[in-house]
Amino acid sequence: MPLALSVIIPAYNESKRIGDTLRDVHAYLEKSYLDRYEIVVVDDGSTDATCAVVRQMATIYSTVMLVASLQNRGKGAAVAQGMLAAQGDVRLFMDADNATTIRELEKLSPFLAQGYAVIAGSRALPESVLLRHQPRLREYIGRMGNWVIQRLLVGGIEDTQCGFKIFSREAAEKIFSNLRTHRWAFDVEALMRANAYGFRIKEVPVVWQDSAQDSKMAHIRSYLSMAHELVCLLPLRLRLVTQQPHRRYAA
């Protein structure tokens, strides 16, 4: 019997948080999916004890699997690696800091039965709940970035960057086998490709809270890196738009 669900968690220097996140995910899925799930942690070349923590957790929970990279390649590369290593008919990626918990799966998964192949968690819809906001400057920069993304790359999605998205097996394998953006803007490319390939996309409000620890995105170099990646996506957008005769987004 095929796996019902694969949960992909990209991790880079997350030794302090990954254990708690894995315990939370396992506790929820043990009741919901029994033995028909897997949790795939993709270590993106961590320099701390992330791999050791995950290996220890794997001795406790047989559903936990570690995929380790020798070098840091970026979150997008880690998610793609996990999506392609996964075996589930449904594949969810979520962040290692548990900002959107596995419980939000209950809101997103019903849309698969309605024919949506990509369901994106969103912090920007009226029904979204933000328990702890980002610092004001980061929120402002995020809104500016989203304004650019909406107009130049992916229209119709209010929040492309929320780290909680579901893909069907078919969508995951086609999108992530072609993904070329390895770092912060990979969500944008994934949604662009989903639309161009004809996969229906649904955006769903979630409960989210900013991590109490400093985010890796807070560093100015990360913002500059994402801006560079967005510019590099413009030629791809022009190529894909010829394959996308009409919009397939849904509110």
Nearest in space to 51 (alpha carbons), one of 25, 30, 72: 72
Q: CA-CA distance, 211 to 163, in Å (whole number)?
A: 12
Q: CA-CA distance, 167 to 176, in Å (whole number)?
A: 10
Paired tokens of 40: 């795939």
In 20-146, beta strands by DSSP E: 37-44, 64-69, 90-94, 118-122, 129-132
Which is catalytic among the residues 43, 44, 95, 187? 187
Q: Which residues contact 96 (CB under 8 A, 6 or more apart)?
A: 9, 10, 11, 14, 17, 18, 21, 41
Is 187 an active-site residue? yes
Q: Quick check: helix, strand or coil at residue 72?
A: coil
The helix (H) or strand (E) run that includes residue 23 is helix 18-32
Paired tokens of 247: 């919009």
In 78-217, beta strands by DSSP E: 90-94, 118-122, 129-132, 164-168, 201-205, 207-209
Q: Which residues contact 136 (CB under 8 A, 6 or more apart)?
A: none
Q: CA-CA distance, 29 to 171, in Å (whole number)?
A: 23
Active site residues: 187
